[in-house]
Amino acid sequence: MTRNRGSSDAGPGVVIRARNVVKEYPYAGDAVHALRGVSVEILAAEWVAIMGPSGCGKSTLLNVLAGIDAPTSGEVELRDQPLAGMTEGERARLRLVSVGFVFQRFHLLAVLTALENIELPMAEAGVPRAERRRRSLELLDYVGLSNRAGHRPPQLSGGEQQRVAIARAVANRPAILFADEPTGELDQKTGEGIMDLFARLNGDGATLVTVTHDPRVAEHAGRTIRMADGEIVNGNNGNHEW
């Protein structure tokens, strides 16, 4: 696998920086504090697991770091690019080419085949047809599903669907891969297989940020950030001024 390794232009190997990030949601005339001044740094080719109980803000942090959600206050930089000044279109473009995303529920398009699902982000990014077909087949092989190229998601098992979703996530060779509870819908054995695949991706140089509540998943990560009540309680090496 060839991918963008880390980011030399984002400081000494830092690909994600967040400083004093606050995220509040309006709720019943009041505000829910999902993140309370979170700061974090993630290095290139690092695998970070974010853990914590339900509602602690781990998915919100993932969304903010990936440029999906805008923070209420604070700063986020992805590969040295501050997200604050970006338009929705610019953020979409960033997510398309620099970031990969894996969801708990896979979210593949049921009407497309596995191969076509992997081609989708490449088509959006303007990769020529022949090139994306070649790369999709290569990715299917990478995730061990060469024989499933023509199958549609309903014809695939949960684990197979998640493998296709991972292949889709890395189709545009992003520097960073975000995964929100990637094994949440899978049984333990299948989940282990997915973790092995992540480990291989990480070994090939991908930066991984995984949200999970499963300690067995976190064991695979190089670093675990524990959250509670919208704050990082330990495992962070990034709570410093920069």
Partner 1 sequence: MALAGIAVSAALLLDMTMLASGLTESFGELTRGQGYALRVTPRGTLPFDSEAGVRDGAAVQQRIEAVKGVRKVAPVLGAQLYLVQGDSARESLFTVGVDPDAQALYVLTAGESPRPGEVVVSEPLARHYGVGVGGQLGLAAELDISLGRPREVHPFRVSGVGEFVYDAEDQRSLGMPIVDVQRLTGRPGEVSLFAVAAEEGLSDDLLSAEIERAVPEVSVYSTAELMAEMDQRLLYFRQLATILGSVALAVTALLVSTIIAIGVRERFGEIAALRAIGVSRQRLLLGVLVEGVTLAGAGSLLGLPLGLWMAGRLDRILLDFPGIPARLSFFVLDAQRVALALSIVILTGALAGLLPGLGALRLPLGRALREESE
List interacting residues with partner 1 (CB under 8 A): 25, 59-60, 63-64, 66, 68-70, 88-89, 92-97, 99-101, 103-105, 107, 109, 120-121, 124-125, 168-169, 172, 180-181
Collapse the DSSP code of 189 into the 3-class scheme (helix H, G, I; strand E, B; otherwise coil) and give the result: helix
CB distance 155 to 79 below 8 Å: no
Whose Cβ is closer to partner 1: residue 153's or residue 159's? 153
Q: How far is the CB of 234 from partner 1 (least distance, A)?
A: 25
3-state DSSP helix/strand/coil % of the chain, to nearest 5: 35, 25, 40
When the beta carbons of 105 and 200 are compared against partner 1, the nearer one is: 105
Q: Which is nearer to partner 1, 88 or 241 (CB)?
A: 88
CB of 233 to partner 1, least distance (A): 22
Nearer to partner 1, 99 or 225 (CB): 99
Other residues' Cβ atoms within 10 Å of the Cβ of residue 65: 27
Q: What is the DSSP string of 68-81?
A: SS--SEEEEEETTE
Q: Cβ 124 to partner 1, closest distance in Å?
A: 5
**Residue closer to partner 1 (CB basis): 123 or 219:** 123
Q: How far is the CB of 159 from partner 1 (least distance, A)?
A: 18
228 forms beta bridges with 231
Minimum CB distance to partner 1, residue 109 (Å): 7
Q: Which residues are within 8 A (CB) of 201 and not within 5 positions of it... i.e. 6 or more apart?
A: 1, 166, 170, 177, 208
Q: Give the span between the Cα atoms of 150 and 4, in whole angstroms.
A: 29
CB of 203 to partner 1, least distance (A): 23
- Residue 25 or 242 having the CB closest to partner 1: 25
CB closer to partner 1 out of 116 and 180: 180
Query: Smallest distance, Å, CB 169 to partner 1?
Result: 7
Taking the C-alpha atoms of residue 143 and residue 141, their distance in angstroms, rounded to an integer, is 5
Tell me the β-bridge partners of 224: 49
Cβ contacts of 167 within 8 Å, gap of 6 or more: 118, 136, 139, 140, 142, 143, 145
Q: Which residues contact 189 (CB under 8 A, 6 or more apart)?
A: none
**CA atoms of 115 and 36, how far apart (whole Å):** 41
